[in-house]
Amino acid sequence: MKRIGFIGTGVMGRSIVEHLLTNKFEVTVYNRTKKKTDDLIALGAVWKDSPKEVADESDVIFTMVGYPTDVESVYYGENALFQTDINGKLFIDLTTSTPSLAEKLYHTAVEKGGNALDAPVSGGDLGAKSGKLTIMVGGDEASFLEAEPILSLFSKTLERHGPAGSGQHTKMANQIMVAGTMTGMTEMLVYARKAGLDLEKVIRTLNGGAASNWSLANYGPRILKEDYSPGFFVKHFIKDLKIVLDEAEKMELTLPGTEKANELYNQLQDKGFENEGTQALIRLWWE
């Protein structure tokens, strides 16, 4: 059985590692804040002091960090993944990052005798906990087939979309759609409350018809409980929307709905809610 390395045990990464351990994989872990791995070590994961040490002890190495700059640091920085012999090793970046960086990781890995997949995910904390994430993959088909049995352990939908960078482009398409559903859900709740409707009934009814969507089903009830804990951080969604708009500009595309969502989420961040979940958008109307 392949040895697994995992770097980045945050909201989603921790649950993914738990699935790997449950399936009897040998897992080594590294996280910038070591205490966030304590529970995983208690379950059988092995701590390493640097990304390089994780790569030394692993056949397949996952990364799931916050920003493209963090990805760069983990792969190219001091004691980083690419600072060791990676011949025959497969790197899978689950971070939502830029297509250009995904291509760079792929080319570096191949030059050094390894390989790399960009495999951003959707589904948030709930999808990670239940093992039902959607994973969008870019890279060589042979590497995808090698990784597929492992990725299947924590995904419901798993597709390869083309060469390196294609996974990240697909995730950008996903975030465009999420931006629309989050703003739509928020404005729907604002309208329904102003009209004096029972919001629990409204959510239940709309989820049975054409307005049904994942954000409404999963984040609507959280909003009614004033639960703004992060399934996905506001600050990370802002990062994603910036990538979307940068890529759209390169393609000479205008995306006015996404631009508006980006504006609203930046307003939310300016109010100090960057570490809350994306459902906190409702705070621009409800305090």
Per-residue pLDDT of the chain in tens (287 residues, 90 and over written 9): 789 999 999 989 999 999 999 999 999 999 999 999 999 999 999 999 999 999 999 999 999 999 999 999 999 999 999 999 999 999 999 999 999 999 999 999 999 999 999 999 999 888 999 999 999 999 999 999 999 999 999 999 999 999 999 999 999 999 999 999 999 999 999 999 999 999 999 999 999 999 999 999 999 999 999 999 998 999 999 999 999 999 999 999 999 999 999 999 999 999 999 999 999 999 999 97
Helix or strand or coil: residue 274?
coil
Instruction: Say if residue 71 is in the same domain as residue 121.
Output: yes
Q: What is the pLDDT of residue 205?
A: 98
* Residue 190 one-letter amino acid: V
Instruction: Give the CB-side neighbour count of residue 94, counting CA atoms within 13 A.
Output: 32
Catalytic residue among 156, 171, 242, 271: 171
CATH number at residue 258: 1.10.1040.10
> Pick from 116, 136, 162: which residue ends a domain?
162
- 201 an active-site residue? no
Q: 83 vs 86, 100, 104, CA distance in Å?
A: 8, 21, 15
Instruction: Say if residue 204 is in the same domain as residue 184.
Output: yes
Instruction: Say if residue 152 is in the same domain as residue 181.
Output: no
> Pick from 134, 162, 190: which residue ends a domain?
162
- As for how many domains the chain has, the answer is 2
Instruction: Say if residue 178 is in the same domain as residue 155.
Output: no
Instruction: Say if residue 138 is in the same domain as residue 185.
Output: no
Instruction: Say if residue 211 is in the same domain as residue 140.
Output: no
**Token digits for 223?**
């909003």
Instruction: Say if residue 38 is in the same domain as residue 145.
Output: yes
Instruction: Say if residue 48 is in the same domain as residue 151.
Output: yes
200 in Cβ contact with 243 (< 8 Å): no
Instruction: Say if residue 94 is in the same domain as residue 18.
Output: yes
> Pick from 162, 192, 224: which residue ends a domain?
162
Integer Cα distance of 14 and 139 in angstroms: 25
Q: Which range marks the domain in which residue 38 is found?
A: 4-162
Q: pTM here?
A: 0.94
285 in Cβ contact with 190 (< 8 Å): yes
